Amino acid sequence: MSDIKVKTAPVLGVDGRSAGHLLEVDNLHVEFRTRDGIAKVINGVSYHVDAGETLAVLGESGSGKSVTAQTIMGILDTPPGFVTDGAIRFRGKDLLTMGKDERRLVRGEGIAMVFQDALSALNPVFTVGFQIAELFRKRRGMSRADGYKRAAELLDLVKIPAASARLRDYPHQFSGGMRQRVMIAMALALDPEVLIADEPTTALDVTVQAQIMDLLAEIRRDRNMGMILITHDLGVVADVADRIAVMYAGRIVEQADVHALYGKPCHPYTLALLDSLPRLDLKGQELNTIKGLPPNLLRIPSGCAFHPRCTMARDICLTQRPALVELGGVRSSACHFAEELYGRE
Amino acid sequence: MGRYALRRLLQAIPVFIGTTFLIWFLVWGLPGDPFAGRCGEKACPPAYVNYMTEKFGLNDPLPLQYLNYLKNLATGNFGQTFNGLEIGDLLAQAFPISMKLAVVAVLAEALIGITAGVLTGLRRGSFLDNLVLVSTLVLIAVPIFVIGIVARYAFGLASVSPEAPWTELIIPGLILGSGSLAYITRLTRVNIVENRRADYVRTAVAKGLAPGRVTGVHLLRNSMIPVVTWLGLDLGALMGGAIVTEGIFNIRGIGGLLFGAIARRESGIVVSIVAILVLVYLIVNLLVDLLYGVLDPRIRYE
């Protein structure tokens, strides 16, 4: 595994010392206070992303991957969602404790987000030109004409044909793939340092998915952005990501370099996920699935949350929650048998 | 959109003819003596009855009478009242006053209703929300003549001057619009509550736009679609005059004219007013339908 580049671009703080990573989520806890009780949605998530790097966050629905992203953006619905502990540092400053206005200015300019369903995420009653130009007008103080000119350039950048003519179109007049490109153009408008893409291709058909992922990867490379790619699609991740964090029941259960993770998963959940991928050589056979259902977040299982569905589960898994332990420096896994899995051939 | 508007206008023609015929027939064609009781205690002299019957063409067959009426209407001739006043003049005096009153009412509905609706929609469950909720219930539940008479004494406003200047119409307009105002408030609130968690609102926040812009542009614009439609229809309905409100404040509008005409069996006035109201309502309906497409670009006309 010597060919793996670990990309780190330290960000300098005011005093010239390294202030850590570009964006760093540190021991984040979020709970949803619902009528039925408190759902612990995020239970101590830590990850980071640096400039020019893509971190993929992988997990089933309800694993907390999107809620983490919403908390970073500050668009968590409160109530029911509340941050109970942790910090989110962007360029060394904690977003959770900074003032409202200061945090607002980070949105779009520091960290921007591409949403899953562009049809509902774009405002149906305004033209896409208006919605993109709005950023330049309100955040950069540009005139209407200049804003629209820049919007056209952005649509061109995301390879929408006849860009300037399409400024006057409404979101519903675009195809699914083109709409997602509009969404990406809008996120790029203020030249953000970190782009969060929350399942950007889930609503699209397969051929378009690949185009959108290529576009994102290209833009990430050109602009040296940090990217957090949230997905449940293992196929999407492999080509694009540098590192992967696998989430389960509001925790990161395994974090590793993409090649390492695919080559030798060190958590039974990751193992099971990879096992359930359709494979050509097993054509005609029944697809492997992970038995059982994702845990109810109102009643997370004791010990290791994955134990009811785990094929390796022993007595210790019912009572003790495994800590995220480092394996060989660059990767970590939260399993009682992590060393065992790591040591296997 | 142009073809759609044209088609709707063509459709309006049979609707207009049908409704005016119905009302014309109900007023003129039904059995009864139009001149009974017009000459005090005594029966009217035959000479008068003959003269009037001849003047209003009451001996002609019914369809011919109706066609004559339509023909006159098309040339802007509304005919005369039984005592020889030009109906067109009466309408020309009364309509502007009712229109002013309707505009005041709709403006009040829009300004107060939408503001209250947005504020309560954003702070659901707050003290303000509950206060407004109770107030709107009261406004909807209490009949307009009660509110009107109470307001008349409370503000010492016995009657509006004959020319009905705007300033004197503010309170009557508020009273007239009070029921709809309550409804607009609720409608706005419901839409704000429903839309404020919409994905596009979240996107607007994620773009780092100021809270005022997120609410005032992105949230409000989408929440206004049903509200504006309702306001438009209400304006059309209120143009028909307000019999109760105009009565309470002695406003000489269409409502009072119509009420008096019915009481005095002035058939010509009744039919003319209704014909105009049908026309106004058809046009307002068409405009509101077209407005839908402007407010929500997803709506296609075909």
Name which of B208, B209, B297 is nearest A170 (Cβ-Cβ). B297
Of the two residues A339 and A135, the one the predictor is more confident about is A135
**Residue B43 located in a structural domain:** no
CB contact under 8 A, A120 and B204: no
Select the residue of B207, B210, B222 nearest A135 (Cβ to Cβ). B207
Question: Minimal Cα–Cα distance from B26 to chain A, Å?
Answer: 47
**β-strands A226-231, A54-58: how paired?**
parallel
* B contacts of A170 (beta carbons < 8 Å): 297-298
pLDDT at A201: 84
Domain count, chain B: 1
Best of A100, A123, A134 to substitute, by most chain B Cβ atoms within 10 angstroms, is: A123
Q: Residue B223 sits in a domain of what CATH number?
A: 1.10.3720.10
pLDDT at B285: 86
Of the two residues B217 and A61, the one the predictor is more confident about is B217
Q: Which residue of B has its CA nearest to A106?
A: B208
In-domain check, residue B258: yes
Report yes or no on B153 lying in a domain: yes
- Closest CA–CA distance from residue A299 to any residue of chain B (Å): 27
Mutant choice from B122, B123, B203 vs A, greatest count of A C-beta within 10 A:
B203
pLDDT in tens, B74-97: 888 888 887 778 888 888 888 888
Q: Do A77 and B209 touch (CB under 8 A)?
A: no
Pairing of strands A37-49, A23-34: antiparallel
What digits encode the pLDDT tens for the residues A313-342? 888 888 888 888 888 767 888 888 877 888
Report the alpha-carbon distance of residue A41 to residue B178 in Å, rounded.
47
pTM of the predicted model as reported, rounded to 2 decimal places: 0.81
Closest CA–CA distance from residue B185 to any residue of chain A (Å): 22
pLDDT, position B164: 73
Mean predicted confidence (pLDDT) in B195-200: 91
Distances (CA, A) of B22 to A222, B16, B25, B58, B62: 74, 10, 5, 17, 12
Contacts of B208 in chain A (CB under 8 A): 104-109, 135, 139, 190
Residues in chain A within 8 Å Cβ distance of B204: 123
Q: What mean pLDDT is reported for chain A?
A: 86
DSSP string, A78-138: TTTEEEEEEEEEETTEETTTS-HHHHHHHBTTTEEEE-S-HHHHS-TTS-HHHHHHHHHHH
Residue A111's pLDDT is 94
Burial class (CB in 10 A: 0-12, 13-18, 19+), A96: middle
Residue A13: pLDDT band by 50, 70, 90 thresholds?
Answer: very low
User: Nearest by CB to A120, which of B200, B207, B209?
Assistant: B200
Q: Identify which of A77, A107, A117 has the shortest CB distance to residue B208.
A: A107
pLDDT category at A148 given cuts 50, 70, 90 is very high
The pLDDT of residue A9 is: 45
A135: pLDDT strictly greater than 50? yes
Q: Are A326 and A252 in contact (CB under 8 A)?
A: no
Chain A interface disruption, residue of B122, B126, B200, B228, most A CBs within 10 A: B200
When pLDDT is averaged across residues A82-88 and rounded to a whole number, the result is: 91
Put simply, the answer to whether A125 touches B204 (Cβ < 8 Å) is no
From B144's Cα to the closest Cα of chain A, the distance in A is 37
Q: What are the tens digits of pLDDT across the range A28-40?
A: 999 999 898 888 8
A73, A117, A125: residue with CB nearest B199: A117
Domain holding B125, by residue range, is 91-264
Percent of chain A topping pLDDT 70: 94
Residue B249 lies in a domain: yes
Question: Would you list which residues of chain A are within 8 Å, Cβ to Cβ, of chain B?
Answer: 73-75, 77, 104-109, 112-113, 115, 117, 120-126, 134-135, 138-139, 170, 172, 186, 190
CB A121 within 8 A of CB A73: no
User: Quick one: pLDDT at residue A231?
Assistant: 87
Q: Does B237 touch chain A (CB under 8 A)?
A: no
- How far apart, in Å, are the Cα atoms of B268 and each of A304, B21, B78, B263? 87, 13, 8, 13
Give the pLDDT mean for B245-252.
Answer: 84
A53 pLDDT higher than 50: yes
Compute the nearest-CA separation of B205 from chain A (Å): 7
How confident is the model at residue A208, as a pLDDT?
A: 84
Contacts of residue A135 in chain B, CB cutoff 8 Å? 207-208
Contact by Cβ (8 Å): A273, A234: yes
Q: Is residue B167 over pLDDT 90?
A: no
Q: Name, in order, each residue with C-beta under 8 angstroms of B171's C-beta and a sequence gap of 6 or more.
A: B151, B155, B157, B249
Q: Is B209 contained in some domain?
A: yes
Contact (CB, 8 A) for B249 and B172: yes
Which residue among A112, A122, A125 sits closest to B297, beta carbon to beta carbon?
Answer: A125
Residue B14 in domain: no
- Let me know if residue B300 belongs to a domain: no
Confidence band, pLDDT 50/70/90 cuts, at residue A19: low
Instruction: Say whether pLDDT at A77 is over 70.
Output: yes
B-chain residue closest to A185, CA distance: B207
The letter for the amino acid at B264 is: R
CA distance B293 to chain A (A): 10
**Predicted local confidence at residue B299, as pLDDT:** 82
Contact between chains at B199 and A115 (C-beta distance less than 8 A): yes
Q: What is the mean pLDDT of residues A100-127?
A: 92
Instruction: Supply the mean pLDDT for chain B.
Output: 86
Nearest CA-CA distance, residue A34 and chain B, Å: 16
Q: Which of A73, A74, A123 sits opposite B200 (nearest CB)?
A: A123
Percent of chain B predicted with pLDDT > 90: 25
- In a domain, residue B82? The reply is no
